[in-house]
Amino acid sequence: MAYFDAASAAPLHPVGRQALLAALDDGWADPARLYREGRRARLLLDAAREAAAEAVECRPDELVFTPSGTRAVHAGIEGALAGRRRVGRHLIVSAVEHSSVLHAAEVHEALGGSVTEVGVGRTGAVTPDAFAGSLRPDTALACLQSANHEVGTVQPVAEVAEACRAAGVPLLVDAAQSLGWGPVAGDWSLLTASAHKWGGPSGVGLLVVRKGVRFAPRGPLDERESGRAAGFENIPAVVAAAASLRAVRAEAAEEAARLRELTERIRTRVPALVPDVEVTGDPERRLPGIVTFSCLYVDGETVLHELDGAGFSVSSGSSCTSSTLTPSHVLRAMGVLSEGNVRVSLPPGTPAEDVERFLAVLPGVVAGVREKLGAPVPAGGVRGAERGVEESGASAVDAPAVDTPAGGTPAGASTAGDALVVDALGRRCPVPVIELARVIGDVPVGGTVRVLADDEAARLDIPAWCEMRGQEYVGEEPADRGSAYVVRRVS
C-alpha cells in the first residue's frame, strides 16, 4: 500500500519511535517532583524543549507543549486576543487557514468580536498588500499559515509579518505543514505546529509566544507549561516529537529536492495522461511533497475508493467526500474546480516506483468513474479506456444519460423563454456539471443554459467548468428551490 496522505499525518519517524520507547522507561514520573525519577523526567522534558526551540529558532522559555496542534492554535488565538483586548477586538485571518483557525475566528465573532477574512488568488496565496490593507487601529491579532495544507502553496509570511510589525499588530503563524522542512522566516510573534505532521506522535502541539507579546491565557490557570497548557505533560510523546523534528530537519534538504522532483512529475504528467484536469496551487512557491488536482466529471468519493482498492491512500477536498457535503473552503476561496479533487502528499522516503505506479493507475481509474457516471467524452480522451484497476461496483452517484431526440430538446431538459433549462435538483456533484456539458452544444452560440441545482458544489464547479471550457458564466439567479446557474455558449 502506498501512503500518499502525509499532509494529514506523516508516519512516525524511526528516530521518533526509538525516542518514544526509551522515554516510556525513563520519562513516566512527574517532572515537577524533586526526587530522582522526577528529576530524570524533567531533564527529558527540558532537553526536548531546547531541541524544539532550536528547530523553531526561538528561546526555550518561549515554547510550550500542548495536547495537539489544534489546541495550540486555539490557545494562541484566545490568549493573544485577550492580552490585547484594550487595543480592540478585530481579528484578521486568511480565507484558506486551517479549520482550527477559522473555528476560533467564528467563536470570537459570536462573542462580539469582528473578523476580516483576507481573500486569495487562484494559486491560494494572499498578497501582502491586501493583508496590510486589512489592518486597522483596533486590530488585536492577525493569523496567516506558513503553507497551505490542501494545495501546498507557501504564503508570503515574511512580507506580511513586516506589515504587521509596522502596524504594531502581532502575527500568529500556523506552521503545521512547513515546520518539518525548515524554520518560518519573518518577524512573526506567535507560532503553532503539530508533531504528527512532521513524523512525530499524535497528541503533541507547539505554541510559541515571543517575549514582549501581550498574552493572557484563557481558562483556569495551571502551573505547568507557563500556564498556557494545562495538565500533566506527555513526556514520552514530547520527547519523540522533538527527536523526530530534529531528525527530519537533518534530512530536509536532500529529501525536499527528491520529493519536489516527484511532485513535479505528478503536476506535469497528470494533465497529459488524464483529460480535463486542473492542477491547483502555486507551481513554484509550494511545499515539496504536496500536489493537488481536480478532474472534471468525477466524484471525489468514488475516485478515492477506487485508488484505495488499487493500493493508494490519498485524500480529497471534494464535497462528495465530506460529511457536510460542501466543497473544501480552500478550493472555494481559490475559485478552482472542486469535483474529483485529489490531494497527493508524499511522506519522506516515498519510492519513485510508487509514484510511477500511481501515474499508471490513475488514468484508468478516472476513465472508469467517468464511464460509470455517463459523463461526456473528455476533450482529447476516449471514454472506456483500459482502467488499470478492477471495477468495484456502481458509483455513489448515478447520472442517467441525456439523449437528444432528432430536432428536439434533450431529454431531462426543458426550455424557458430563450434559455435551455437543466433540472439537476437533488443531484450531487458532479452531476449538475455533467448535464450542463451534455446540453451546451444544443443551444446556439450566444444562447444560454440555466442549470437548476441545490448542491453547494455547483456554485463553485459550474463557473470553474466555464473557465476550463471557454464558455461565459453569466451568474447565479434565485430559484424556487436551490439556485439557477446561467451559462452562455460562446463557442
Which residues are known catalytic residues?
Answer: 320
What stretches of 116-234 show up as alpha helix (H) in DSSP? 128-133, 157-167
CA distances from 367 to 379, 389, 420 (A): 12, 11, 28
Burial of 340 (0-12, 13-18, 19+ CB in 10 A): buried
User: For residue 218, which of 90, 113, 82 has the smallest C-alpha distance?
Assistant: 82
Helix (H, G, I), strand (E, B) or coil at 125: coil
CA distances from 65 to 61, 204, 233 (A): 11, 7, 8
User: Looking up cell 478532474, which residue turns up?
Assistant: 295
Count CB atoms within 10 A of the CB of residue 46.
Answer: 12
How far apart (Å, rounded) are the C-alpha atoms in residues 294 and 334?
Answer: 13
Contacts (Cβ under 8 Å, ≥6 apart) of 300: 316, 317, 318, 319, 320, 321, 339, 340, 341, 342
CA distances from 119 to 94, 311, 335, 356 (A): 6, 37, 10, 36
DSSP string, 354-407: HHHHHHHHHHHHHHHHHHHHTPPPPTT--TT---SS---S--SS--------TT
CA distances from 197 to 11, 176, 194, 219, 334 (A): 9, 6, 6, 27, 24
User: For residue 376, which of 301, 442, 463, 286 has the smallest C-alpha distance?
Assistant: 442
User: Looking up cell 477574512, which residue turns up?
Assistant: 117
Count CB atoms within 10 A of the CB of residue 160.
Answer: 27
Strands 114-118 and 139-143: unpaired
User: For residue 114, which of 106, 125, 124 has the smallest C-alpha distance?
Assistant: 106
Contacts (Cβ under 8 Å, ≥6 apart) of 243: 13, 15, 16, 18, 19, 48, 51
Strands 2-3 and 312-313: parallel
- Please list the residues that pair with 449 across neighbouring strands: 420, 487
Burial of 380 (0-12, 13-18, 19+ CB in 10 A): exposed
